[in-house]
């Protein structure tokens, strides 16, 4: 094998964010931009020689180009084997499972998740370690440091491999195996859930719609929900992954999955509606006439997980990201199990899962998952819901209401201000942080303040500290406002404001969410001067 060493010059903007390196496709297309990042990563991975690397992505534009580059560079950098999904396809949770299942050294997942695709859309590269989870900050910091000083990268001169053909091919002596992206994942799901019970539910007339949003979950959902579980053909819509997601925005929220939402709220609603995002790690769950907020979904799944065979012995603990509502905390309290609050991003759950401290994790951004992989898993959440519905033989709305009656309801909403000026956004956060110590002792808007800080996380497993993870202002009545800047946006800055209010089990659970949060929304604007500093009089997206 002849390894070529090619001279390059560093870029100064290759710092991985919440979920890998994410930029416009055109940005990635700059000379050596991809090569620099991958070489910086490989340079930061001691012990990779002769090991297995998993590669796959969500099928978006530029996916196959980067896969070919990555395969050649893996060969030149001494990897022993590459496993790549057929057609270049691997969902994020699918890749996590493949890494674990085959004992790989790690994996490259090519995705910008829910961001739009196509030549003018976004692209991204994430690295997951041997546990199947997103690289911890220790690795991403090393990659960033390396990217600032890199002078050369390594590759080999070989033709592209045929990604359509399953089986083993060779690239400069390194074995490249093209694998079925779905089969191993489907087999894993079958070990966790009662497929017979769910099959029976479908056979007795239960109807569902799953919107794959022309993204990576299509083939997985078709094979599992229509194939294994016998839901009628056509249950999974928009099932073929397209390079530009059909021009849509593969974000399963009430804005971008509006068609599904409207169907579920209308007279012809099936029993259950669900959707997933670009790379398959997020989920949207809607019952007939009832949208389930991701924070509630986490709590309900945790409270009912024991109904699925994979969790029949109960769960050992729950973790949620800091901005996620405290609904799950009440479940953990009742079950008498550990509860952890981590910074935003799945990488912070890895240590807790590896150490066996928690079984179920979730984020307010529609991510839920368990210790079966080390990523959030959209289809997993949908299948767990189906399993619960099959066992409880109740509708989604009824289950949600019973949950509130038992644990109380956490009214919850996130307000995003997208593409605002980065300078103004940073200044807003800096000034807010600086003002925290001088917030009036009497409280805000008649509410007594019990907590005002910039969240810092102390990992109980490895002892590391991650600071500046978001400003939180907590009130005595259990309500809370959180402010943070997104780490996944690609243009300007995105300010996220998270609002939450607790209503006890015997309280009013039927209020409109924005109404129930109205005074907190006004308070958030006045304390952070959002309108004045961003020039916006309303959020871009409300979820």
Contact partner, 60, from Co ion, ligand VG1, none, Cβ < 5-8 Å per class: none
Instruction: Reply yes or no on whether 113 is catalytic.
Output: yes
Contact partner, 211, from ligand VG1, Co ion, none, Cβ < 5-8 Å per class: none
Residues 217 and 377: their CA atoms lie apart, in Å, by 10
Contact residues: ligand VG1, CB under 6 A: 18-19, 113-114, 277, 281-282, 321, 344-346, 363, 365, 367, 486-488, 496
Beta carbon nearer to ligand VG1, 35 or 329: 329
Beta carbon nearer to Co ion, 155 or 276: 276
Beta carbon nearer to ligand VG1, 176 or 319: 319
Q: What is the nearest approach in angstroms of ligand VG1 to the Cβ of residue 345? A: 5
Q: What is the nearest approach in angstroms of ligand VG1 to the Cβ of residue 344? A: 5
Residues 543 and 524: their CA atoms lie apart, in Å, by 16
Beta carbon nearer to Co ion, 96 or 359: 96
| Helix 294-304 × helix 378-392 angle, to 10° | 50
Residues 433 and 430: their CA atoms lie apart, in Å, by 5
Site residues (CB under 5 A) for Co ion, limited to 354-383: none
Residues 475 and 542: their CA atoms lie apart, in Å, by 22
Contact partner, 363, from Co ion, ligand VG1, none, Cβ < 5-8 Å per class: ligand VG1
Stretch that binds Co ion, among 107-115, 175-183, 317-325, 522-530 (CB under 5 A): 107-115
Beta carbon nearer to ligand VG1, 367 or 408: 367
| Helix 327-335 × helix 396-407 angle, to 10° | 70
* Lookup result for tokens 């759950």: 349
Q: What is the nearest approach in angstroms of ligand VG1 to the Cβ of residue 366? A: 8
Q: What is the nearest approach in angstroms of ligand VG1 to the Cβ of residue 17? A: 6
For residue 66 the two structure tokens come to 């980067």
User: Out of 19, 91, 96, 113, which one is annotated catalytic?
Assistant: 113
Contact partner, 18, from ligand VG1, Co ion, none, Cβ < 5-8 Å per class: ligand VG1
Both ends of the chain: CA-CA distance in Å?
53
Contact 445, 413 (CB under 8 A): no
Could you give the residue ranges of the DSSP H alpha helices within 108-257?
137-147, 183-192, 195-203, 217-221
DSSP code for 370: E
Residues 174 and 50: their CA atoms lie apart, in Å, by 9
Q: What is the nearest approach in angstroms of ligand VG1 to the Cβ of residue 470? A: 9
Contact 58, 280 (CB under 8 A): yes
Triad 303, 268, 193: Cα angle to 5° = 30
Residues 519 and 443: their CA atoms lie apart, in Å, by 14
The residue at minimum Cβ distance from ligand VG1 is 113
Stretch that binds Co ion, among 63-71, 110-118, 126-134, 526-534 (CB under 5 A): 110-118
With CB under 5 A as the contact rule, the residue among 113, 295, 534, 543 that binds Co ion is 113
With CB under 5 A as the contact rule, the residue among 194, 281, 371, 500 that binds Co ion is 281
Q: What is the nearest approach in angstroms of ligand VG1 to the Cβ of residue 429? A: 13
Q: What is the nearest approach in angstroms of Co ion to the Cβ of residue 91? A: 9
The residue at minimum Cβ distance from Co ion is 113
Residues 270 and 206: their CA atoms lie apart, in Å, by 8
Phi/psi for 201 (5° steps) reads -60, -45
Q: Using CA atoms in the order 235, 240, 246, 248, what is the torsion angle rounded to 10 degrees?
A: 60
Contact partner, 140, from Co ion, ligand VG1, none, Cβ < 5-8 Å per class: none
Contact partner, 371, from Co ion, ligand VG1, none, Cβ < 5-8 Å per class: none
Under DSSP, is residue 481 helix (H, G, I), strand (E, B) or coil?
Answer: strand
Beta carbon nearer to ligand VG1, 294 or 408: 294
Q: What is the nearest approach in angstroms of ligand VG1 to the Cβ of residue 76? A: 28
Contact partner, 345, from Co ion, ligand VG1, none, Cβ < 5-8 Å per class: ligand VG1
Q: In what order do the strands lie in the sheet with 338-342?
A: 338-342, 317-321, 360-363, 367-370
Number of residues that bind Co ion (CB under 5 A): 5
Residue 516 neighbours by CB under 8 Å, 6+ apart = 411, 501, 503
Picking from 378, 396, 368, 388, the residue whose alpha carbon sits closest to that of residue 270 is 396
With binding defined as CB under 5 A, does residue 279 bind Co ion?
yes
- Report long-range pairs for 434-437 (Cβ below 8 Å, ≥24 apart): 435/527, 436/471, 436/473
Beta carbon nearer to ligand VG1, 52 or 321: 321
Beta carbon nearer to ligand VG1, 271 or 277: 277
Catalytic positions, please? 113
Binding site for Co ion (CB under 5 A): 113, 277, 279, 281-282
């Amino acid at each position: 094998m002849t390894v070529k060493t090619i001279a390059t010059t560093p870029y100064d903007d290759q710092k991985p964010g919440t979920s890998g390196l994410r930029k416009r496709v055109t940005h990635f297309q700059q000379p050596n931009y991809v090569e620099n990042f991958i070489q910086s990563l490989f340079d930061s991975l001691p012990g990779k020689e002769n090991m297995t690397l998993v590669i796959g992505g969500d099928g978006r534009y530029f996916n196959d180009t980067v896969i070919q580059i990555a395969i050649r560079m893996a060969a030149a950098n001494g990897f022993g084997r590459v496993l790549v999904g057929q057609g270049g396809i691997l969902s994020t949770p699918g890749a996590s499972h493949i890494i674990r299942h085959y004992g790989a050294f790690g994996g490259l997942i090519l995705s910008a998740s829910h961001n739009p695709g196509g030549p003018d859309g976004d692209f991204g590269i994430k690295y997951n370690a041997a546990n199947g989870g997103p690289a911890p900050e220790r690795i991403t910091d090393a990659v960033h440091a390396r990217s600032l000083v890199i002078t050369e990268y390594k590759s080999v001169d070989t033709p592209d491999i045929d990604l359509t053909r399953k089986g083993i091919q060779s690239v400069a002596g390194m074995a490249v195996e093209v694998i079925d992206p779905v089969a191993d994942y489907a087999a894993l799901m079958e070990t966790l859930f009662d497929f017979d019970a769910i099959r029976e539910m479908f056979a007795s007339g239960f109807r569902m719609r799953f919107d794959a949003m022309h993204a990576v979950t299509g083939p997985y959902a078709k094979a599992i929900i229509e194939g294994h579980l016998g839901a009628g053909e056509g249950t999974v819509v928009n099932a073929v992954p397209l390079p530009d997601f059909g021009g849509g925005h593969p974000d399963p929220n009430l804005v971008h999955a509006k068609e599904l939402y409207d169907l579920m709220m209308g007279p012809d609603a099936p029993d259950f509606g669900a959707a997933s995002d670009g790379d398959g790690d997020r989920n949207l769950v809607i019952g007939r006439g009832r949208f389930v907020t991701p924070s509630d979904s986490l709590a309900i799944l945790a409270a009912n997980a024991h109904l699925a065979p994979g969790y029949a012995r109960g769960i050992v603990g729950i973790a949620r990201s800091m901005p996620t509502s405290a609904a799950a905390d009440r479940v953990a309290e009742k079950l008498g199990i550990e509860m952890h609050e981590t910074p935003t991003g799945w990488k912070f759950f890895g240590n807790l899962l590896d150490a066996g401290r928690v079984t179920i994790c979730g984020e307010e951004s529609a991510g839920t998952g368990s210790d079966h992989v080390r990523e959030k898993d959209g289809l997993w959440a949908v299948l767990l819901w189906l399993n619960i519905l099959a066992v409880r033989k109740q509708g989604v709305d009824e289950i949600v209401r019973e949950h509130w009656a038992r644990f109380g309801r956490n009214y919850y909403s996130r307000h995003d201000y997208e593409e605002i000026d980065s300078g103004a956004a940073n200044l807003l956060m800096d000034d807010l942080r600086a003002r925290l110590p001088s917030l009036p002792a009497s409280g805000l808007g008649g509410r007594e303040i019990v907590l005002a800080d910039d969240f810092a996380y102390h990992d109980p497993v490895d002892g590391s500290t991650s600071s500046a993870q978001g400003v939180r202002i907590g009130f005595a009545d259990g309500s809370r406002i959180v402010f943070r800047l997104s780490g996944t946006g690609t243009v300007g800055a995105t300010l996220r404001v998270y609002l939450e209010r607790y209503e006890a089990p015997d309280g009013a659970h039927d209020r409109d969410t924005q109404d129930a949060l109205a005074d907190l929304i006004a308070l958030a604007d006045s304390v952070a001067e959002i309108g004045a500093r961003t020039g916006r009089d309303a959020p871009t997206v409300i979820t």
